[in-house]
Structure 1
Amino acid sequence: MLSTIAIESLKRRKATAILTILSITISISLLLCVDIVRNQVKTSFTRTVSGVDLIVGAPSGQLNLLLSSVFNIGTPTKGIDYKSVESLKTNNQVSWLIPLSLGDTHRGFRVVGTTNSFFEHFKYGDMQHLALSAGGVFNQPLSAVIGSDIASKLGYGVGDEMVISHGLGNVSFNNHDKHPFVVSGVLEKTGTPVDKAVYVTLQGLQEAHSGSQQATASIVRKPADNHIKTSDEHEHEHEHEHDELTQVNYDSDAFTPQSVSVVMLGLKSRITALQLQYQINQSKKEPLMAILPGMALAELWQIMGNIEALLLGLSGLIVICALIGLATMLLATMRERYQEIAILRTIGARPFTLLLLVQIEAMLLTIISAVLSIGLVGALMNALKPWLSGTYGLFLSSPLFGKSSAIIILLILSCTYLVSLFPAITAYKRGLHAGLSQH
């Protein structure tokens, strides 16, 4: 009975009800968006690297090793002898291995020496593989594969030459001019530090440092012909469309450097990660340190907890704004209903009935707004998922609405119940005679 009266009352005040629903919907939507982003940012942060079970380097601290190997920030204090890498490679528990050599830059971007195993085994986000938007992986000793940000900011493409510099500064006077690397591929956007890195071969990196000329490989480009090609020539060109860069079958893993900075390991069984970590940390041949990326990322997130606190504070402000807007709308509505309330009291409605009626109307408005907000936010997040993952590295995982979202909705409904008391009590105090006097 009361719900029917409440619905009919809202229909008579359609314009005001629609504006109220719109205001509350926007507020709840903003709050849910912030909550989803807050939770998903933490999840995406811990997925900057996925599928890597152990990261091994020289003893330099867990966070320093993580920052240098995953985020390309800083460098390890020293390298590890490649004999130790070979020992890890032959370990029965190890499925694959990615060596990384750090310490060089190109116009302010980090240069990472590695092998083709990096592009095969390195994963990010929700176990997503790296993909190339142009070109291919290392096909000669002086090959370079660049991140998408470098390609867009510096205008590089497949076949362009680039000179790396020793050291981590934006300006370096120690350039390896005699050993220019040739871009063989451009990676697709990942939204991770991979986008801002240059990946070169370990062989080319070491020979650039040593000044050796053995790594230099000639680049054979197709001659520019001005005559019109026949159909046979077109077919021949199509068969050899990838011949611009020679030595396609280059085996980057065959080269043995003297040392590397960091090694990423993938294990046959993740259950053995702690056991192998202990064995590596206790190694007597060479001081080594193995870390679990997931645990290290969680520790780093705790240090960066101010970001989460800022998002939580923003969420609190949105809640306050939503409640103030709701109270304002309800009070404005009640001022229009003094005569209606007076008539209801005249026909025998009790004060409790009036309070309940006002609260039912308020709850109906909030419930409708909450349902609209959930649908709107869900559709918006699904539509923006590719853009968020490619631009900001924010990988949205299902379900979008979790326990915190349910708590938010229940909290808003509870606050609606409390806020609706004020306009109801105000209308009651207005009294029967005050309401009739306006007729």
Structure 2
Amino acid sequence: MHLLRLALASLANRRFTALLTIFAIALSVCLLLAVERVRTEARASFAATISGTDLIVGARSGSVNLLLYSVFRIGNATNNIRWDSYEAVSQDKRVKWAIPISLGDSHRGYRVMGTSAAYFEHYRYGRRQPLQLAEGKPFADLFDVVLGAEVAETLHYKLGDKLVLAHGVSTVSLVQHDDKPFTVAGILARTGTPVDRTLHISLAGMEALHIDWQNGVPARGAGKASAEQARAMDLQPKAITAFLLGLNSRIATFAVQRQINEYRGEPLLAILPGVALQELWSLMGTAEQALLVVSLFVVLTGLIGMLTAILAGLNERRREMAILRSVGARPWHIGSLLVLEAFTLAVTGVLLGVGLLYLGIGLSQGYLQANYGLNLPFALPSPYEWTLLGAILAAALLMGVVPAWRAYRQSLADGLTIRL
């Protein structure tokens, strides 16, 4: 107890250097814990980009490729699925609901997705959160469009605005569907998922855009159908890109998956979203670990700064050590004092770092949830985080041994005869 009071008094006497050291350790600890929290929650949020969906079905390719274009709107499908194949699968008695997806068009760099009303009813993200409209309503008219939150915010659209879709998925397209403009009927609330970057139209609307196309080329002159003429035509899709399935019982998931993969009508692939998401995340594991390693080196830098500060002041404190020896302090008392000072600096820095972490979570929680889908809860440190904090304190103790050993050796030789 006497040593602790002496250590605190010594640190208070050098308060400016001590505060700088504590602040450096606190920032490094805060960064380490923040990276760990974000890494853990990003993985959970990534896995929850789509939830409540038992199977994703598309043309036979790779599971990651199917996941990328159907959920993340990245890349393109190798082939389309016939409408009769979709109907055959969706009418299975084990299927509770099905959401068709048709891709291929875009608007100023954002993907357009044709779907049905079931999308707004059954699609889930995060912890089974449903889609909600911030404004307006789902598409009701043939040429209605529902915008993701990011699309509406970035392009400054509001309800009732007209927009023209483009063929293909390039940022700049030479082929515009300018004869069939769409009207903004609704704007979805933010989800922090690819839904925010998507324009949603009906399958019939997607079909109307291409009703007068032949062999991938728009018709010209008399063969071109106007928007009003398209309304009178049969707009039943002949093919879609993919579809999502929800089953009555999750026990049947593997049986339905096997049946779809063996479907004889055309080559299909059914994947489990969770498994495909984990496979995709594993491809980014190197970057994830690299980020953690960088954070650990930042903490190590903070501890080395503490060691440097103590060693730099050691030579100035030789008279102090000699006086302590003169009043009865033993060499091991001097060494213990230096170790205790280092440990006190580390403990204070760790506590301040944890406090900064929770302050940062409180200030950024809503923003991260709305824009990136990251839910950072006010939770106690996890067992792994406690391990990291314990390792930091242990490292501080080990580093405190270095100046303690030097002080121990100097106090034996100096006595009261040192020269300054």
TM-score (norm: length of structure 1): 0.85
1:411 aligned onto 2:380: no
1:251 aligned partner: none
**Amino acid in the other structure paired with 2:398:** L
Alignment of 1:367-406 (within 5 A): 367-397=347-377, 399=379, 401-406=381-386
CA distance in 1, matches of 2:163, 2:76: 22
1:183 aligned onto 2:184: yes
1:324 aligned partner: 304
SS of the residue corresponding to residue 111 of structure 1 reads: strand
Of 286, 295, 298, which aligns to 1:315?
295
1:426 aligned partner: 406
CA distance in 1, matches of 2:158, 2:335: 70
TM-superposed CA distance for 1:333, in Å, is 4.1
Decide whether the 8 Å contact of 1:179 with 1:216 is kept in 2: no
User: RMSD in angstroms over aligned alpha carbons?
Assistant: 2.4
Decide whether the 8 Å contact of 1:141 with 1:216 is kept in 2: no
User: Closer, same or farther in 2 for the Cα pair 1:335/1:28, shift >3 Å?
Assistant: farther
1:284 aligned onto 2:264: yes
Decide whether the 8 Å contact of 2:28 with 2:295 is kept in 1: no
TM-superposed CA distance for 1:400, in Å, is 6.5
CA distance in 1, matches of 2:118, 2:321: 76
2:330 aligned partner: 350
TM-superposed CA distance for 1:296, in Å, is 0.8
TM-superposed CA distance for 1:328, in Å, is 1.6
Q: Deviations over 1:240-272 (max 9, x none)?
A: xxxxxxxxxxxxxx9742221111112233333
SS of the residue corresponding to residue 145 of structure 1 reads: strand
TM-superposed CA distance for 1:293, in Å, is 1.0
Decide whether the 8 Å contact of 1:142 with 1:215 is kept in 2: no
Decide whether the 8 Å contact of 2:325 with 2:415 is kept in 1: no
SS of the residue corresponding to residue 170 of structure 1 reads: coil
2:138 aligned partner: 137
1:275 aligned onto 2:276: no
**Amino acid in the other structure paired with 2:163:** M
Decide whether the 8 Å contact of 1:163 with 1:176 is kept in 2: yes
Q: Deviations over 1:301-356 (max 9, x none)?
A: 11122321331232133123112211122223434432232223233333333222
Count of residue pairs the alignment pairs up: 403
Alignment of 1:35-184 (within 5 A): 35-184=36-185
Decide whether the 8 Å contact of 2:358 with 2:378 is kept in 1: no
CA distance in 2, matches of 1:306, 1:438: 55
TM-superposed CA distance for 1:420, in Å, is 0.5
CA distance in 2, matches of 1:335, 1:185: 71
TM-superposed CA distance for 1:433, in Å, is 5.4
CA distance in 1, matches of 2:366, 2:103: 31
TM-superposed CA distance for 1:113, in Å, is 0.3
TM-superposed CA distance for 1:380, in Å, is 1.4
CA distance in 2, matches of 1:289, 1:400: 42
Decide whether the 8 Å contact of 1:114 with 1:200 is kept in 2: yes
**Amino acid in the other structure paired with 1:428:** Y
CA distance in 1, matches of 2:414, 2:71: 71
TM-superposed CA distance for 1:45, in Å, is 1.8
Runs of 5+ unmatched residues, structure 2: 213-224
TM-superposed CA distance for 1:138, in Å, is 0.8
Percent of matched pairs sharing the same residue: 42
User: Closer, same or farther in 2 for the Cα pair 1:335/1:275, shift >3 Å?
Assistant: farther
Decide whether the 8 Å contact of 2:147 with 2:184 is kept in 1: yes
Decide whether the 8 Å contact of 1:191 with 1:392 is kept in 2: yes
CA distance in 2, matches of 1:112, 1:147: 11
User: Closer, same or farther in 2 for the Cα pair 1:269/1:177, shift >3 Å?
Assistant: same
Q: Deviations over 1:368-424 (max 9, x none)?
A: 221222122023113311111222332325646323322221111111111101111
1:264 aligned partner: 244
Decide whether the 8 Å contact of 1:281 with 1:290 is kept in 2: yes
CA distance in 2, matches of 1:270, 1:170: 40
Runs of 5+ unmatched residues, structure 1: 218-253
CA distance in 1, matches of 2:394, 2:286: 29
Decide whether the 8 Å contact of 2:334 with 2:404 is kept in 1: yes
CA distance in 2, matches of 1:365, 1:121: 54
**Amino acid in the other structure paired with 2:160:** G
**Higher mean C-alpha displacement, 34-43 vs 289-298:** 34-43
User: Closer, same or farther in 2 for the Cα pair 1:108/1:369, shift >3 Å?
Assistant: same
User: Closer, same or farther in 2 for the Cα pair 1:136/1:173, shift >3 Å?
Assistant: same
CA distance in 2, matches of 1:18, 1:190: 41
CA distance in 1, matches of 2:239, 2:123: 21
User: Closer, same or farther in 2 for the Cα pair 1:347/1:392, shift >3 Å?
Assistant: same
Q: Deviations over 1:137-166 (max 9, x none)?
A: 112111101122222232221111222222
User: Closer, same or farther in 2 for the Cα pair 1:267/1:180, shift >3 Å?
Assistant: same
Q: Deviations over 1:154-196 (max 9, x none)?
A: 2221111222222222333332222211110112222222222
